[in-house]
């Protein structure tokens, strides 16, 4: 199994550009989520999904959109990138909400100029 | 949201030494996990431990949910233990709150 796969691993954007970070998991997990990691601040939850067709906001959702059309995929969209969105982004999945461990992807480093 | 405090923020150990990392949280939780982020940035789940004690090789963890803290013990530390250790908690299972981590450096 590949586990949780994130693409791209690195991306540089200009202010105002849009892009999508892809996340896919092959473990049939119901729960998927996106985090951002900034220096000295740990990981903060952006959006999460408890199943196909269901998404909700986390701690820092502004500037990001998500959708969950399939169990496997949970893309994160930046519609108009800002320098404040420069960060490392992690996708995580779990068998179900409140059941068991979070499994993380390898991360995507995004720089917005 | 739930406040999570980890201590110490930084720790430098000689190889072979033991250490204890602490995670305090501000509210009742039903999910608590410990993660290790290696120097390449990869996050690895060490323990899912909402209560009780677990052991995995040289690592063990204890959570006292009624007193709102968890401890991670590392014995006979090795250079490969270096990295940042995070505690994450949730009360609903949907929203996880992370501490700011303990940065561990193990010196040969």
| A29 contacts on B by Cβ (under 8 Å) | none
Instruction: Report the pLDDT value the prediction gives residue A51, as an integer from 0 to 100.
Output: 92
Count each helix (H run) and each strand (E run) in chain A, helices first. Answer: 0, 11
Answer yes or no: do A99 and B41 touch at CB < 8 A. Answer: no
Contact of B26 with chain A, judged by CB distance below 8 Å, is answered with: no
Q: How buried is A106 (Cβ within 10 angstroms: 0-12 exposed, 13-18 middle, 19+ buried)?
A: middle
Among A34, A102, A103, A107, the residue to mutate for chain B (most B Cβ within 10 A): A102
Contact of A101 with chain B, judged by CB distance below 8 Å, is answered with: yes
Answer yes or no: do A45 and B33 touch at CB < 8 A. Answer: no
Question: Each residue of A4-61: pLDDT tens digit?
Answer: 999 999 999 999 999 999 999 999 999 999 999 998 788 999 999 999 999 999 999 9
Answer yes or no: do A100 and B48 touch at CB < 8 A. Answer: yes
CA distance A14 to chain B (A): 24
Mean pLDDT over each residue of chain B, to the nearest integer: 95
Answer yes or no: do A59 and B97 touch at CB < 8 A. Answer: yes
Question: Each residue of A51-82: pLDDT tens digit?
Answer: 999 999 999 999 999 999 999 999 999 999 99
pLDDT band at A110 (very low <50, low <70, confident <90, very high): very high
Contacts of B4 (CB under 8 A, 6+ apart): A42, B23, B24, B25, B26, B87, B88, B89, B97, B98, B99
Instruction: Report the pLDDT value the prediction gives residue B41, as an integer from 0 to 100.
Output: 93
Q: What's B11-52 look like in SS3?
A: EEEECCCCEEEEEEECCCCCEEEEEEECCCCCEEEEEECCCE
Contact of B88 with chain A, judged by CB distance below 8 Å, is answered with: yes
pLDDT band at A100 (very low <50, low <70, confident <90, very high): confident
**What would the two tokens of residue A57 be?**
């906001």
Instruction: Report the pLDDT value the prediction gives residue A1, as an integer from 0 to 100.
Output: 65
pLDDT band at A112 (very low <50, low <70, confident <90, very high): very high
Ranges of residues in chain B whose predicted pLDDT is under 50: none
Could you say which of B30, B45, B98 has the minimum Cβ distance to residue A42? B98
Instruction: Report the pLDDT value the prediction gives residue A38, as an integer from 0 to 100.
Output: 95
Instruction: Report the pLDDT value the prediction gives residue A99, as an integer from 0 to 100.
Output: 64
């Amino acid at each position: 199994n590949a586990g949780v796969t994130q693409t791209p691993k690195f991306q540089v954007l200009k202010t105002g550009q849009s892009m999508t970070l892809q996340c896919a998991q092959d473990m049939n997990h119901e729960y998927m989520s996106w985090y951002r990691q900034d220096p000295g601040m740990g990981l903060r939850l952006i959006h999460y999904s408890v199943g196909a067709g269901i998404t909700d906001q986390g701690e820092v959702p502004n500037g990001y959109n998500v959708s969950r059309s399939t169990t496997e995929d949970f893309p994160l969209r930046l519609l108009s990138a800002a320098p404040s969105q420069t960060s490392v982004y992690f996708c995580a999945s779990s068998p179900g909400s409140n059941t068991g461990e979070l499994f993380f992807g390898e991360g995507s480093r995004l720089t917005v100029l | 949201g739930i406040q999570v405090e980890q201590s110490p923020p930084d720790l430098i150990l000689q190889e072979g030494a033991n250490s204890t990392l602490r995670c305090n949280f501000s509210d009742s939780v039903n999910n608590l996990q410990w993660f290790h982020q290696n120097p390449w940035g990869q996050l690895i789940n060490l323990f899912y431990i909402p209560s009780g004690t677990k052991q995995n090789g040289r690592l063990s963890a204890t959570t006292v949910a009624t007193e709102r803290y968890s401890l991670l013990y590392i014995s006979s530390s090795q250079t490969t233990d270096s990295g940042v250790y995070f505690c994450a908690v949730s009360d609903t299972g949907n929203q996880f709150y992370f501490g700011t981590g303990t940065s561990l450096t193990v010196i040969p």
